[in-house]
């Protein structure tokens, strides 16, 4: 990196007139920075090589001899090597060992299930804390309550916070057998009554014979793993009158910068390419299903909005 103007350069600049000196110094320094940037990139090296090759060809054309011929051939060989390297580098550019689309979310969660709980960041923790606080608000005055956790995962981050509650029941629906196994492992011996359904959310929601309604329905950090949106009318039907739906997910402004949810498993990185989840689009769909918005909390990571936790109520009069 070029930092400032060196002594030899200063001596050269000293020869210039005083009035134009600040502008010239700036220009000179800028050109040196540009030059350093060009030199430091592979693209810069390729450009330099092409120019050198053209000069060698011109030299060969003017004075055909062994020397310009060997120089031109050497530069041509280097150029071919550089182009081949750039092409293979571009193909294998992904920084991850395994990349999954939301259509393969089940494979992704199966692969990362055992490492999922350990991977949690501070901001995920804040998101989960806000969800837990909201659930507690709803269940604290109820004698018996039932939470339906759509895409409940390992249960460690939300359900386990209610482990000693004997008045409550918790049902998790999840499509990943390994996440479900972790849930069962994490919930061993707790006082909370737990149940788990190994099923795809869309299939679960499509099952119109649901006789049961729940005090709280959760869909936390799941929408961004789904290939398309949930059927909110069906989700709303699962909420008891006077109950709540809690929706939380990563902000799209964050997924725009970090599009992958990554988990390291035995030294190999697994990355799920997330679907951006826009709360502004969810609100009208959810409220049209008969729920009212009761508030949204943002979790921030420095200046960027990281996630949202939004609560929707079902009026007591509505069935």
Ligand X SMILES: C[S@@+](CC[C@H](N)C(=O)[O-])C[C@H]1O[C@@H](n2cnc3c(N)ncnc32)[C@H](O)[C@@H]1O
Contact 244, 312 (CB under 8 A): yes
Q: How far is the CB of 302 from ligand X (least distance, A)?
A: 22
Binding residues for ligand X, rule CB under 6 A, total: 18
Instruction: Please identify, using beta-carbon distances, which residue of 55 and 124 lies nearer to ligand X.
Output: 124
Q: How far is the CB of 151 from ligand X (least distance, A)?
A: 3
CB under 6 A: which stretch of 66-74, 170-178, 187-195, 234-242 binds ligand X? 170-178
68 binding ligand X? (CB under 6 A): no
DSSP notation for 253-288? HHHHH--EEEEEETTEEEEEEPPP--HHHHHHHHHH
Rounded distance, CA 206 to CA 201, Å?
8
Contact 262, 237 (CB under 8 A): no
147 binding ligand X? (CB under 6 A): no
226 binding ligand X? (CB under 6 A): yes
107 binding ligand X? (CB under 6 A): no
246 binding ligand X? (CB under 6 A): no
Place of tokens 């120089």: 71
Instruction: Please identify, using beta-carbon distances, which residue of 152 and 243 lies nearer to ligand X.
Output: 152
Please choose, from the candidates 165, 217, 219, the residue with its C-alpha nearest in 3D space to the C-alpha of residue 194.
Answer: 165
Of 68, 100, 109, 254, the one binding ligand X (CB under 6 A) is 109
Instruction: Please identify, using beta-carbon distances, which residue of 53 and 110 lies nearer to ligand X.
Output: 110
252 binding ligand X? (CB under 6 A): no
Q: How far is the CB of 143 from ligand X (least distance, A)?
A: 26
Of 160, 171, 194, 225, the one binding ligand X (CB under 6 A) is 225
152 binding ligand X? (CB under 6 A): yes
Rounded distance, CA 29 to CA 67, Å?
37
Of 112, 201, 236, 279, the one binding ligand X (CB under 6 A) is 201
157 binding ligand X? (CB under 6 A): yes
Contact 242, 316 (CB under 8 A): yes
User: On the CB side of 97, how many CA atoms lie within 13 Å of its CA?
Assistant: 11
Of 56, 148, 221, 279, the one binding ligand X (CB under 6 A) is 221
200 binding ligand X? (CB under 6 A): yes
Please choose, from the candidates 102, 123, 132, the residue with its C-alpha nearest in 3D space to the C-alpha of residue 246.
Answer: 132
Of 56, 72, 105, 235, the one binding ligand X (CB under 6 A) is 105
Q: How many residues does the chain have?
A: 319
Rounded distance, CA 4 to CA 8, Å?
12
Contact positions vs ligand X (CB under 6 A): 105, 109, 151-153, 157-158, 174-176, 179, 200-201, 220-222, 225-226
């Amino acid at each position: 990196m070029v930092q400032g103007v060196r002594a030899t350069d200063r001596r050269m600049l000293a020869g210039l007139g005083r009035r134009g000196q600040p502008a010239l110094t700036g220009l000179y320094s800028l050109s040196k920075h540009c030059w350093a940037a060009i030199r430091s990139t592979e693209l810069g090296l390729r450009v330099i090589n092409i120019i050198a090759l053209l000069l060698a060809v011109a030299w060969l054309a003017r004075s055909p001899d062994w020397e310009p011929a060997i120089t031109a051939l050497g530069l041509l060989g280097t150029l071919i090597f550089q182009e081949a390297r750039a092409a293979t580098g571009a193909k294998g550019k992904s920084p991850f060992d395994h990349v999954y689309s939301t259509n393969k979310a089940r494979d992704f969660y199966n692969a990362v299930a055992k490492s999922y709980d350990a991977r949690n960041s501070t901001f995920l923790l804040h998101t989960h804390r806000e969800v837990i606080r909201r659930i507690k608000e709803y269940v604290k005055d109820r004698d018996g309550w039932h939470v339906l956790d759509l895409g409940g995962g390992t249960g460690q981050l939300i359900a386990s916070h209610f482990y000693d509650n004997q008045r409550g029941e918790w049902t998790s629906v999840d499509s990943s057998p390994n996440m479900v196994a972790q849930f069962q492992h994490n919930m061993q011996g707790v006082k909370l009554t737990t149940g788990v359904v190994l099923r795809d959310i869309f299939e679960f929601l499509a099952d119109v014979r649901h006789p049961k309604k729940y005090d709280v329905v959760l869909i936390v950090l799941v929408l961004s793993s789904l290939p398309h949106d949930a059927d909110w009318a069906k989700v709303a039907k699962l909420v008891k009158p006077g109950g709540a739906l809690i929706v939380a997910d990563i902000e799209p402004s964050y997924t725009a910068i970090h599009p992958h949810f990554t988990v390291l498993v035995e030294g190999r990185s697994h990355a799920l390419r997330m679907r951006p989840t826009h709360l502004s689009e969810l609100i009208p769909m959810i409220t049209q299903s008969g729920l009212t918005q009761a508030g949204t909390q943002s979790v921030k990571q420095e200046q960027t909005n990281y996630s949202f936790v939004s609560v929707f109520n079902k009026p007591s009069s509505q069935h």
